[in-house]
A and B are shown apart, each in its own frame.
Chain A
Amino acid sequence: MKRETVFQIIGFGLVAIGYLASTVFVLQRKTAHLEKPNQITLRIAHWQLEQGLRHAFDELATEFTRQHPDIRVEQLLVPERIFPNWLVTQLIGGTAPDLIEVGYGIDDERLARYFVPLSLWVERPNPYNQGTALEKLPWRDTFLDGMYSSYNPTLQDYYSAGLNMHTVRLYYNRGLYEKIMGVGAPAPTNFREFQAVFQKLADYNGARANKVVAIAGSDYNGPLLLDQFLSNQTQKLLLRLNDLLDFSVSKPDTQMAYLAGRWNFTSPEVQSGLELQHEVGRNLPSGFQSLRREDATFYFLQERALMIVSGSWDVRTLKAQAPFPIDIVSIPLPTPANPEYGKYVLGAFAENNDVATRFGITRLSRHPKAALAFLQFMTSQRGNQRFVDTSYWLPSIIGVTIPEPIRAFQPIIEGYTQGLAFNSFGADGRLVINQNLYRLYGDRQPVDSFTRSLEEDLRPAVRRDLLQEIKTRRHAIAHDDTTLAALQWKQYRGKSSSETVRKMAATRLNQDLMECGAYMLETSLDSIQK
C-alpha cells in the first residue's frame, strides 16, 4: 500500500472517530436532559470569567431550580475576546441562549431585532421581592441607578437588568507594607501620606538587588489610577465649561471647548494634573503602557509590586491568589487642603452608580416567561444578596448588604463630579495621546515634552472625532423618523397603548434634543474651521 493511501486512511479514520465521539457526546447530553421530561432548560451566556462569578451564578441557578423544579439553568461562559463574534453567530443562526449579557457586540439595531423590551415589566413590582421592603416598588425603582443603565435612549425602552456595580480602589500588600512603613502603619488616606509611601519604599529598596515597584501597572491598570489624578486637578475647569448649567459636561462638549481654545494642555489646571500624573506615574514600572493586565497582576502577586489599582471585579481573584494579606483603600487624591495641588480641587469624586453585568432576554428564547422569572429572581433583593455574598461584587439592588470583604468598595456618594481626563477624548484623540504618553513618564522635562508633542496632531484628531460624533447622532436622529411615523400611525388608528404614548413622547423629545445638540456641535465646528 502506498504511503499516501495509508495517511489518507488514518486521516479518514480520525475524522470518523471524532464524528462518532461527538455523536455519542451529543446523544448523552440529550439523554441526560430527557431523564427529566418535565423540566425545561434555560441557558444564560456571559463573559464574566472572574473568580467566584461562575459559582455565584451556579448558586442562583440552584436556588431558582429549588423554587421552580421544572426549570434548570445552564451557564455558558464565553471569553470576552470572542464574545461579539460568538454572539452574532448565535443570534443569526437562531441558536442564541435565553438570556445574554448585554454589551459587547450589541448595537441598537441588534438590540431591537433580537431582544425583548422590558418596559411592561419594569413598571410593575418584582414578584421575587415579596416580603421585603421593596415588594410594592416598581422593579425599576428597586435598582440603585433606577435602571438608568438599562435604558436605551434611541429605542426609548429597557432591554436589560443588571446585577452589580463597580468601583476602583488601591489594593496593597499588607505584609510588605508593614515591612516598609513599620508594623501597624495605617494605610495612606491623603496624597501627602501616599507620597511618603513612595519615599519610604525608595529607602527600603536602597541597594537591594530585587527592587520592589510601588504600584503594578499596565495599559489597563495605569489609566485606572492616573486618569483620576488629572480628573482631580480639572474639576473646577470642567465646571467652567458647563455652558448649559446642569453640572454635567459631555465628552463632545469638552472636545469642542478644546478646539475653541477654552482650555488646552497648557492650561494651569491641566499642567498641574500632568505634573501629578508624572509624579505618581514614575512609581509604576518603566514602560507600563506596553504591559498587559495579566503582567500587572503577576507583579503584584509575586510581591514585586507593593500596590495595584483595580476594580471591585478583581477582589476575589486577587485575594484568592495572593499568598499575603491584602488591604484595600480609596486612591489618595489631593484634597483642597493640599498646599501644592489643592487649589484646583473641589473634593472627592461622587462615584458613578451605573449598573453592570446586565442581561437581556432574547426574542429567540423558547421560554421567555421562565427567562423573565430568572432575571427578576437574580435582581430581587434576596437573589442579589446571594449573588453579592458569593461573588464579592457590589450590589445593584437597594437594601442589599455589602459583604465585609468588599466594604472598602462601597461607592462614595458624597462627592463632586469628576473633571476631564484623557478619556474625555474620542478614539482618534486618545490614540494621539497614547502614542505620546511615554514622554510624560520620562526624565527630560516630561510635562513640557508631552504637552508640546500634542500640539500638531491632537487638534485634527479631535476634529475627526467630533465629525464622527455628529455622524453617529445624525444616524440616530434619522432612525427615530421611522419609529415616530409608526408610533403616530398606531395612535391615529386608535391602536396605541399608554406605553406607545409614552414611548412616542420620549422619542420625539429625544430626537429634538439630539438634533439641537448635533447642529450646535456642527456649527461650532464650522466656525472654528473657518
Chain B
Amino acid sequence: MMSLPYRLFPLLIWSVGLAVSQASDPKLLDKAWDDASMLLVQESYARFTAAQEEKVGDLREVEYGLGVNLLNLQPKTVQNINRAEAIFTRLIAANPNDEVGIASLYYLARLEQIHRNDPNVPKALQLYSQLIAEHPNHFYAQSAIAKVAILKLCATPTTADKRQALAEVEKLAPLLKEPAARCNFNLVVSTACIQYNLGDEKALRYLIEADTIGVPIQFAEANILIRIGNLAQRLGKRDIAITYFERFLKEFPRSTRTFTVQQKVKELKGAKS
C-alpha cells in the first residue's frame, strides 16, 4: 500500500502549482478567505502560502490565515496543530490588541479546547477568561462567553455541582452586549437548566429572551418554540404556552410535530375554559 507521504504527493504538487499561479493575483487574500469560509481549507492554505512567499498583503493577516487553516488542514497532524499554536503565540506576542492579536488569542483557546488530540480544558478556560477580561466587547470575547458557559455547564462531569457552575456562568451575562452572542449564551444556559434540572423558571426566561433576540436557524427556532410551550405549561403559564405553541403552528405548519402541538393547544384551551 502507498504510504501517506506518497499519497499526498499529488496534493503537494497541486498546492505548489496553485501557489505559483496565484502569487501575483491582487485579490489573492480575498480569495483565500472566500475559500476558507466555504470549508475549502486546502485551497485557502495554498493561497495563503503563496501570499507569504510572494509577500502579498499584510504579513500578520497572512500568518493568521495560515494559522486558522492549519487547524483543519488534512491530514490533521500534531505538527500542524503545533505550527498553528506557534503562529498564534507569535502574533499575540507581537501585538495582543489589534484584530489579529485578539482573534489569535481566541483561536489559541479553541486549539486547546477542540483541536488537540488531548484537549486542555483548563488552559482553554484560562485563555477565554483572559480574552473576556482584556477585550470584553470584541466579537471574539463575546463568543468566548458562550464557550465558557459550555465548558462549565456541559463539559464537567454529570456529578459536578451544576448549580455552582450556573452561578459562575450567570455572572458573565451582564458582559454580553452583542445580540447574537447573547442569544447563543441563553440557549446554552437554558439547555443546561433543562437537562440538569436547574430550574424551569430560569430555563423559560433564557429561552424567551433568546427567541426575542431572534434565532438564526429555522430548525433550532422550531425546537425552541415547542420547548417554551412545554416549559410554560409545566409551570402553569397557560397563556404563554398557548402563544408559543400557536406560533409554532403558524411558522411550521408542515412539521411532523404539528399534530402533537395541535393536541397540546386543544388540551390547554380546554383546561382554560
Which A residues lie within 8 Å of B219 (CB)?
A: 148, 153
Known: A148-B218, A477-B114. A350 touches B257 (CB 8 A): yes
CB of B156 within 8 Å of the partner chain: yes
Residues on A with C-beta less than 8 A from B156 are: 523
**Which of B103, B194, B260 meets A244, CB within 8 Å?**
B194
Q: Are A486 and B257 in contact (CB under 8 A)?
A: no
- Beta-carbon contact of A526 and B157 below 8 Å: yes
Contact at B217–A509, with CB atoms within 8 Å? yes
Task: Please determine whether B218 and A483 come into contact, CB atoms closer than 8 angstroms.
Answer: no
Pair A245/B194 contact, Cβ less than 8 Å:
yes
- Cross-chain contact A488 with B103 (CB below 8 angstroms): yes
- Bound form: Cα–Cα A296–B23 in Å: 61
> How many angstroms from the CA of A490 to the CA of B192 in the assembled complex?
33
Total A-B residue contacts, Cβ distance less than 8 Å? 179
CB distance from A113 to the nearest CB of B (A): 6
Please determine whether A112 and B99 come into contact, CB atoms closer than 8 angstroms: no
A155 within 8 A of B: yes
Residue pair A486, B158 in contact (C-beta under 8 Å): no
* Docked complex: B140-165 residues within 8 A CB-CB of A: 140, 143, 146-147, 150-151, 153-159
A50 → B minimal CB distance (Å): 25
Contact of B36 among A413, A485, A492 (CB under 8 A): A485
The answer to whether A482 touches B103 (Cβ under 8 A) is no
- Whether A482 touches B71, Cβ cut-off 8 Å, given contacts A506-B216, A523-B154, is yes
Q: Which residues of A contact B56 (CB under 8 A)?
A: none
**Partner-binding segment picked from A93-101, A181-189, A512-520:** A512-520
User: In the complex, which residues 110-144 of chain A have their Cβ closer than 8 Å to any Cβ of chain B?
Assistant: 112-113, 117, 144
- What's the minimum C-beta distance from A470 to chain B, rounded to whole angstroms? 12
- By a CB distance below 8 angstroms, the chain A residues around B110 are 481
Contact partner of B184 (CB less than 8 A), chosen from A247, A413, A508, is: A508
Question: A478 at interface (Cβ–Cβ under 8 A)?
Answer: yes
- Does B146 lie within 8 Å of A417, measured CB to CB? no
Chain B: CB-nearest residue to A500:
B37
Chain B residues with Cβ below 8 Å from A366 are none
Assembled-state Cα–Cα distance A512/B190 (Å): 13
Q: Does B39 contact A (CB under 8 A)?
A: yes
Tell me which of B1-9, B126-134, B225-233 binds A. Answer: B225-233
The answer to whether A505 has its CB under 8 Å from any CB of chain B is yes
The answer, among A500, A513, A524, for a CB contact under 8 Å with B158, is A524
Task: List the A side residues contacting B103 at CB < 8 Å.
Answer: 485, 488-489
Task: Say if the beta carbon of B256 comes within 8 Å of chain A.
Answer: yes
Sample of 15 A–B contacts (CB below 8 Å): A153-B219, A155-B38, A244-B195, A350-B259, A477-B114, A478-B114, A485-B36, A508-B180, A509-B180, A509-B217, A512-B150, A516-B188, A523-B156, A523-B158, A527-B159
Interface residues of A (CB under 8 A from B): 108-109, 112-113, 117, 144-146, 148, 153-155, 243-248, 350-353, 413-417, 474, 477-479, 481-483, 485-490, 492, 495, 500, 502-503, 505-506, 508-510, 512-513, 515-516, 519-520, 522-524, 526-527
